[in-house]
A and B are shown apart, each in its own frame.
Chain A
Amino acid sequence: MIAIKRLTGAALMLGWGLMLVVGASAQAEPKRVVALGGEITEIVYQLGAQDQLVGRDTTSTYPEAANELPDVGYFRQLGAEGILSLKPDLILATAAAGPPEVLEQIASTGVQVEKLPSEHSAESLLEKVARIAKVLEIPEAGDKLASSLRQQLDEASASIAAMGDKPKVLFIIGTGGGDVMAAGEETAANSLIKLAGAENVFADHKGYKTMSLESAAVAAPDAIALMEHTLKAMGGVDKIADHPALKLTPAAQTQRIVARDGTYLLSFGPRLPEAMTDFAKAIRTEGRSSH
């Protein structure tokens, strides 16, 4: 009996071994991959599969080395032939990539088009990691990255929960004339604010909408957040703090004006845990009081 058990055990081991070998040989076949979406490019790099990348979209600017890849344009305004000229056999595209007809055209020439979720959440990030690892046939690297990310995310949430208070945040996404475009419900910025344990003052609006400066003042945000390039376009921290309508807000008075790189803050890629913690700290401490 024992001998038979040992035998089946050995056979099972052999089977496992064979499967591993087969798995390894499948890994060995490199693909030509075009990544459409900054967070997708980042994940491919984190998985160590960057050698397979042959193209990227305009928003894929991190890590630095990604900038060397050919740029196929903004991921919402793609052209089929340009992408096909890179001779890809796999397109990793965020669900927001388009126009959809262009992705259809690409698929109709026999190229695999993998559409990845674009929700702004930690779960969606982990799902993206798992699916990219799967299509690139590197499941171990995927598991490793996913569990490391999960741990970092848990740590980040715990440290944010420990901060206790719930500051009010206004996220300015752009500016035109006298008004500002603010991020409302169902935006990446809104999800980030929530993850950072804060309250979005513009949450009763959906999407990115123009907000009059007057209502920005009435909302009395404790912190104003924006992307670095928006800050530059608006003339810097002092300009915002001295703005006739904004200067009465607590945010302007403490100069709690948080500006970060857009992809880093809002792409919900592998740097999310870092961005969450950093943002959560900044909207509570940055500004005059901390200097």
Chain B
Amino acid sequence: MSLRNLHEAQERSRRILLLVLAAMLSVSSFLALAVGPVPIGAGDIWAALWPSEDLSRDAQIVQQIRLPRLILGLCVGAVLGVCGAALQGLFRNPLADPGIIGVSSGAALAAGLVIVTGNTFASGFMEWAGNYALPLGAFAGSMIAIVSIYALSQRAGTTSGASLILAGIAINAMAGAALGYLTFLSSDNQLRQLTFWTLGSLGRITWDSLVPVAVLMTIAVALTLRKAAALNTYLLGEREAGHLGLNVERMKKTLIVLGALGVGSAVAVSGIIGFVGLAAPHIIRLFAGADHRIVLPGSALLGALLVMCADLIARTAAAPAELPIGVLTSALGGPFFLWLLGRYRRELF
């Protein structure tokens, strides 16, 4: 078990990495509360953190707009980072990203179905599920996508990199076509909601809609983090991991459900925010190696940090108007993905 006998120095440097990330995240969280199109003083920010009936306008802006948005950014970033890392471990493929392999578009398609056809075909479900209808629908969509991708990319017991990416392309294309058909069916208003899923934004969150998905995302992140040691064992190979006493099938199923839950909830409230799940784990691996005990928490922290920074730009660059955050992450993440493709070309095909 070489992974368990890590040198102490290495252990310490990893702890420092996590601490640095946590510190940067605290700074960016503070910035998320303090910086915006409305200049707001420290006193109002402090006041906004406590429940009160009698708040100034500025404090209300922090409490009703910036604070839920901050929490959403933290959750979505952490979920995308950690699910990206876990999926890459699960598929043993460095290019597995919820966006690229079609998990996000599966979720977006299901969310679109809920928006456009939910009230017509499943009014009972809509009434029963309330605020949870969209996250649940998105969860189902990402679940179907993730299971079919997994089934399609298995070849003789191992995951083939090329067929994983190809299956992802196919699923993205099919979900895109179905979403396109939905836009054809939808009313003007539904159409606006649909475009939102494809661009991504943290700007629509209110406390009411935040609470259910924040709970789901926290659960997904927390439970995925606990799978770090199992993923390390799994890295040795499926059969080897089995011999070492790991219940491989159960771990796979758990990770698939958690990935679908996390990505589904994230997509349900913020649309498709691409490439965070790809970039965060890779940057962590560059600094700290492939041990999932550092990659998973590191990706959660870095994912949150990336989303917060992107959202800071989205909120302020075009003020008083706002940019869609998904556009920003894709603009930055696209070149990064190309670089990765170049780096892994030989291993993939």
Give A contacts to B, CB under 8 Å.
55, 58, 70-74, 76-87, 96, 98-99, 101-102, 104-105, 108-110, 207, 209
CB of B60 within 8 A of CB of A81, answer no
Would you give the shortest CB distance from A210 to chain B, in whole angstroms?
8
Report the Cα distance A70→B38, complex, angstroms.
14
Q: CB-nearest residue of chain A relative to B60?
A: A109
Q: In residues 54-72 of chain B, which contact A (Cβ within 8 Å)?
A: 57, 60-61, 64-66
Pairs A–B under 8 Å by Cβ, sample size 15:
A70-B320, A73-B318, A76-B192, A77-B192, A80-B203, A81-B36, A82-B321, A83-B320, A85-B319, A87-B57, A99-B204, A104-B206, A109-B65, A110-B57, A207-B187
Would you give the shortest CB distance from B185 to chain A, in whole angstroms?
10
CB of B315 within 8 A of CB of A108, answer no
Would you give the shortest CB distance from B140 to chain A, in whole angstroms?
23
CB of A85 within 8 A of CB of B204, answer no
Given A73-B321, A77-B322, verify A84-B38 contact (CB < 8 Å). Answer: yes
B159 within 8 A of partner (CB)? no
Residues of chain B within 8 A of A105, CB atoms compared? 64-65, 206
B218 within 8 A of partner (CB)? no
Give B contacts to A, CB under 8 Å.
36-38, 57, 60-61, 64-66, 184, 187-189, 192-193, 196, 203-206, 209, 315, 318-322, 324
Report the Cα distance A70→B36, complex, angstroms.
16
CB of A101 within 8 A of CB of B320, answer no
Residues of chain B within 8 A of A108, CB atoms compared? 60, 64, 206
CB of A81 within 8 A of CB of B65, answer yes
Report the Cα distance A83→B321, complex, angstroms.
8
A77, A82, A99, A109: the one contacting B320 at CB < 8 Å is A82
Residues of chain B within 8 A of A74, CB atoms compared? 321
Nearest 9 A/B pairs, CB to CB = A79-B322, A73-B321, A82-B320, A85-B37, A101-B204, A109-B60, A85-B38, A108-B64, A72-B320
Report the Cα distance A170→B318, complex, angstroms.
37
Residues of chain B within 8 A of A80, CB atoms compared? 65, 203
CB of A109 within 8 A of CB of B37, answer no
CB of B61 within 8 A of CB of A84, answer yes
CB of A79 within 8 A of CB of B188, answer no
Q: CB-nearest residue of chain B relative to A70?
A: B320
Residues of chain A within 8 A of B203, CB atoms compared? 79-80, 99, 102
CB of B320 within 8 A of CB of A85, answer yes
B60, B184, B188, B321: the one contacting A110 at CB < 8 Å is B60
CB of A71 within 8 A of CB of B57, answer no
Report the Cα distance A74→B321, complex, angstroms.
8
Q: CB-nearest residue of chain A relative to B192?
A: A76
Q: CB-nearest residue of chain A relative to B59?
A: A109
Report the Cα distance A98→B66, complex, angstroms.
18
CB of B321 within 8 A of CB of A79, answer yes
CB of B321 within 8 A of CB of A71, answer yes
Q: CB-nearest residue of chain A relative to B66?
A: A81
A81, A84, A101: the one contacting B209 at CB < 8 Å is A101
Residues of chain A within 8 A of B318, CB atoms compared? 73
Report the Cα distance A93→B315, complex, angstroms.
21
Residues of chain A within 8 A of B196, CB atoms compared? 99
B37, B60, B61, B320: the one contacting A71 at CB < 8 Å is B320
Residues of chain B within 8 A of A78, CB atoms compared? 322
A83, A86, A87, A96: the one contacting B188 at CB < 8 Å is A96
Report the Cα distance A102→B102, complex, angstroms.
29
Would you give the shortest CB distance from B182 to chain A, in whole angstroms?
13
Pick the most buried of A81, A85, A101, A104: most chain B CB atoms within 10 A of its CB: A81
CB of A81 within 8 A of CB of B321, answer no
Report the Cα distance A249→B209, complex, angstroms.
52
